[in-house]
Amino acid sequence: MSGTERPDSSRKEPGGRAGRTEDRSSGCSGDMDKDPTAIHVTAVDLPRLDVVDGLVACLEQRGLSVERLSPHSGEDAPEEADRLLRADDKDQRAVLLGVQGAPGRALLAELARQQRTTVVAILPSADPQELAQCVADGAAGAIGAGYSVEQALTVFDQAVNGVICLPATVVSEAIQSARTQTGSPELSEEQVELLKALTDGVTVGDLARTTHRSRRTMTRILRKLYDSIGVGNRRQAVEWATERGVLAGPASTEVAS
């Protein structure tokens, strides 16, 4: 899990945390800065997942009251929907929201705009991109199929304490995407051919002979290429070029001199 902390002047330093709870016999543990009794938890349209039952059970063991609502079905749906969307300015609330299809996403966006409301999305999917999309839509955290109860508790605790928690794969992909979007340097035709040759495993000595240069000169040219694209060695250079499609087309070891 990776977290991104939101500024919160009320956070206590380690050692002075309030609301730490632990039940070693059941595996339910948590570390909340906020007083758990001051948080009202509402469970809405939750998918049928083992982690959901475990999460709710652990929250109830903490002394939290979990109210279950189904605003999209049943005779009481209109009344439950009205109650769900009627925010209480006095208490903080956490909404465990099952997100399945367009209605769930629309409700997520509406709840996320309300004051003192923290939304934790729960999906019947393990797709990192779907989890990330829920955060983009306004959720403070996202829980997917295959999560352990401990992981789900971590997401919940970080969400109510102002920290967004996402799978490491999502964070890694986001970082890579950001690097790609910053733009790539303009490469000369020779530099592209060098990258293709490196991919084919051509040695520095062979490159030097092909271009009628000394090995030292070719090493200096490659170092300049690595520096220009922000990598440190041949393997990273090949990965960089592959990710950006620079190596599209037939490779050639004939490098212009």
The domain boundary residue, chosen from 138, 171, 204: 171
Kindly calculate the radius of gyration of the chain based on its CA atoms and give it in whole angstroms: 26
Domain housing 43 = 2-171
Do 167 and 200 belong together in one domain?
no
What's the token pair of residue 219?
Answer: 């090493």
pLDDT tens over the chain, length 257 residues:
666 554 444 444 433 434 444 444 455 765 555 555 578 898 988 888 999 999 999 999 999 888 888 755 545 544 555 566 665 556 788 999 999 888 888 889 888 888 888 999 999 988 888 888 899 899 999 999 989 999 999 999 999 998 887 777 777 766 666 555 555 677 888 998 999 999 999 999 999 999 999 999 999 999 999 988 888 899 999 988 888 777 765 444 444 44
Do 165 and 190 belong together in one domain?
no
Instruction: List Cβ neighbours of 254 (8 Å cut-off, separation of 6 or more).
Output: 193, 210
Do 80 and 159 belong together in one domain?
yes
What's the token pair of residue 198?
Answer: 């490196």
Q: Does 228 map to a domain?
A: yes
The domain boundary residue, chosen from 115, 148, 171: 171
Total structural domains within the chain: 2
What's the token pair of residue 203?
Answer: 């040695």
Do 49 and 142 belong together in one domain?
yes
Q: Is 93 helix (H, G, I), strand (E, B) or coil?
A: strand
Which of 64, 56, 110 is CA-nearest to residue 84? Answer: 110
Q: Could you tell me whether strands 92-98 and 117-122 are parallel, antiparallel, or unpaired per DSSP bridges?
A: parallel
52 vs 66: CA distance, rounded Å: 12
In the chain, DSSP assigns E strands to: 2-5, 20-23, 28-31, 39-44, 66-69, 92-98, 117-122, 141-143, 163-166
Do 131 and 14 belong together in one domain?
yes
Task: Judge contact between 61 and 26, C-beta under 8 A.
Answer: yes
Do 93 and 208 belong together in one domain?
no
Q: What is the CATH number of the domain that holds 233?
A: 1.10.10.10
Q: Does 252 map to a domain?
A: no
Q: What is the CATH number of the domain that holds 50?
A: 3.40.50.2300
pTM, whole model, 2 decimals?
A: 0.56
Phi, psi dihedral angles at 22 (to 5 degrees): -160, 135
Do 119 and 211 belong together in one domain?
no
